[in-house]
Amino acid sequence: MKFFLDSAHVDEIDYALKMWDIDGVTTNPRHVQVSGKPFITVIQEIGALVAGTDKPVSVEVNPHLDDPAKMVAEGEKLAAISPNFVIKLPATEAGFKAVADLATLGIRSNLTLVFSASQALQAMRMGAYFVSPFIGWKESNGEETFNFIADIMAIRDNFGFETEVIVAAVRNARQIIDAATLGADIVTAGLEVFRDAFNHPYTADGLKKFQSFWDQTAYE
């Protein structure tokens, strides 16, 4: 299973690449705004961090666009900046069409803001490279997400679509494990979510106990 960092913070991405060997990066307009840098500047910096690798970086087109031709034009412009870039498009009628048009140009896309299995199916049919179901937002809305992801994986496998499923807006370790047990290809989450998932309070407590025993024992 692949782990992507959901961030546009260059220091965070650099850390996660070096310490955790993350497999890719996803950004969105919120992450870019939080970075405090202009959009093009920050995606160029992220592109430089992964240059020479095959780690994909999802970069989102202007969310105001609702014309497939304009989405494709911006997608081409962004894809020209780095071969690692995958163009993030919304799961709207225009977005689905832009996915297909970008695919004919050899440009990869990531369908974002996916909240139903039928949206994921249409993304796969149109040739999306990635599809990103947002589970954290659904759970905040009181919706279950285990069967949501299971349905998407079953649809993908029933028809042999090549689209990879990125379980997105992941908030905790339980959601990472749910995605992994369901066979999702990728989870994308923030730095603190991964950090929490890699730690457990009993590990820290146990280490302290073992340090105490160690200190009370002769080495030789």
Write b or e for each residue in 197-211: b if 16 or more Cβ atoms lie within 10 A of its Cβ, otherwise e: beeeeeeeeeeeeee
Q: In terms of CB distance, is 177 or 207 closer to ligand E4P?
A: 177
Interface size with ligand E4P, residues (CB under 6 A): 11
Work out how close the CB of 103 gets to ligand E4P at its nearest, in angstroms, rounded to a whole number.
19
Q: Which of 78, 121, 168, 176 lies at the binding interface for ligand E4P (CB under 6 A)? A: 168
Q: In terms of CB distance, is 126 or 193 closer to ligand E4P?
A: 193
Part in contact with ligand E4P (CB under 6 A); list of ranges 47-55, 131-139, 194-202, 203-211: 131-139
Marked catalytic residue, from 2, 55, 88, 209: 88
Nearby residues of 54 by Cβ (< 8 Å), 6 or more positions away: 84
Work out how close the CB of 168 gets to ligand E4P at its nearest, in angstroms, rounded to a whole number.
4
> In degrees rounded to 5, what are phi and psi of residue 189?
-155, 165
Q: How far is CA 95 from CA 32, 112, 186, in A?
A: 21, 9, 21
Distance CA 36, CA 124 (A): 34
Expressed in angstroms, the distance from the first to the final Cα of the chain is: 43
Interaction between residue 132 and ligand E4P (CB under 6 A): yes
Q: Which helix (H) or strand (E) holds 127?
A: none
> In degrees rounded to 5, what are phi and psi of residue 68?
-55, -40
Work out how close the CB of 142 gets to ligand E4P at its nearest, in angstroms, rounded to a whole number.
16
Q: Per CB under 6 A, which of residues 63..122 are in contact with ligand E4P?
A: 112
Q: In terms of CB distance, is 1 or 69 closer to ligand E4P?
A: 1
The residue assigned the tokens 């994909």 is 56
Interaction between residue 23 and ligand E4P (CB under 6 A): no
Interaction between residue 6 and ligand E4P (CB under 6 A): yes
To the query of whether residue 208 is one of the catalytic residues in this protein, the response is no
Work out how close the CB of 155 gets to ligand E4P at its nearest, in angstroms, rounded to a whole number.
20
Distance CA 206, CA 110 (A): 42
The binding site for ligand E4P (CB under 6 A) comprises 6, 26, 28, 30, 112, 132, 134, 136, 168-169, 188
Active site residues: 88
